[in-house]
Amino acid sequence: MQWEMLTAPEFARAVQETGTCVLALGVLERHGDHLPLGTDFLNAHKIACLAAEKEPAVVFPPFYFGQIYEAQCFPGTLTIRPTLLVELLLSVFDAIGRNGFRKIILYNGHGGNTHLVHFLAQTTLWEEKPYYIYVPTRLVDPEQEKKLYSILETKPGHAGELETSLIMANFPGLVKREAIPQKPALPLGRASHLPPMFAGISWYSNYPDHYAGDARAASEEKGRVILQLAVDALAKYIAAVKADQVLPTLTREFFQRQKEVSSLGKAE
């Protein structure tokens, strides 16, 4: 069920029936010269909608605000101030919770959001909320992963074979095949003189054209297989979250202990 497609009465029933909202996170950024700027949120939202058809949940409207400062030097990238970004997401969570959802799944479709979504999950321990945040870190099981890699001819990369195949399956008219580079984009290693590390410029130091991997082997057929694997995995995860009682219990326990610590000084 898509949030924006429901009437108010339908929405209220969906909240009662599922209690779970899926927020697919992506960004607007360059994906080589052959894929649309919205690749990440387009694919993530599509997968979320299809998964929610298999395992009922409400999918938040397309969302494209995320961490993508490393692509600000390219046309079409959309960024907002870091503090505003965090405040925006926390406010969105509160709005989802205010509408009655007790479980929120952050389905991330953009690698640059990884650290951000983990941080956002940690913020739920700052103050008690009426909802719980779930961030899947590995959805495909070993068998699914084996099937995935059996159809790929190259390692997954940014705007490479996997992402390009997925867009071909989801939105075939958006791929500019003639613009796919005729050789793979390998890491340049321009920061390799340093010990293993991370810096804001790390991605750009390796991939100055914001393209990694090799999209030449992409196909719509591969994309359909990848799509089905992703949908099945997310649907299974949604079911597990809906059935979960452990995380809410542990969270309540955590805040009860926090209140006990806070009351120590008052007892004197």
SS (H, E, C) 148-197: HHHHCCCCCCCCCHHHHHHHHHHCHHHCCHHHCCCCCECCCCCCCCCCCC
- pLDDT recorded at residue 145: 87
User: CA end-to-end span of the chain, whole Å?
Assistant: 53
Q: Are 224 and 3 in contact, with CB atoms under 8 Å apart?
A: no
pTM strictly above 0.85:
yes
Sole residue written with tokens 């406010």 = 91
The per-residue pLDDT for 139 is 84
Structural domains for the chain: 3-267 (3.40.50.10310)
The two tokens of residue 204 are: 């750009």
In this prediction, residue 156 carries a pLDDT of 87
Average pLDDT over residues 115-140: 95
Question: Which of 207, 204, 161 is closest to 34 using CA atoms?
Answer: 161
Averaged pLDDT for residues 40-50: 97
Query: For residues 213, 71, 85 and 97, what is the CA-based torsion angle, rounded to 10 degrees?
Result: -30
Show the beta-strand stretches assigned E in the chain: 20-25, 58-59, 103-108, 132-134
**Selection from 70, 56, 58 nearest residue 27 by Cα:** 70
- Please indicate whether residue 143 or residue 79 has the higher confidence score (pLDDT): 79
What the block records as the tokens of 127 is: 């103050």
- Give the pLDDT confidence of 213-262 residue by residue, as tens digits: 999 999 999 999 999 999 999 999 999 999 999 999 999 999 999 998 87
Please name the residues in contact with 149: beta carbons below 8 A apart, sequence gap of 6 or more. none
Residue 268: is its pLDDT beyond 70?
Answer: no
pLDDT for 116 beyond 90: yes
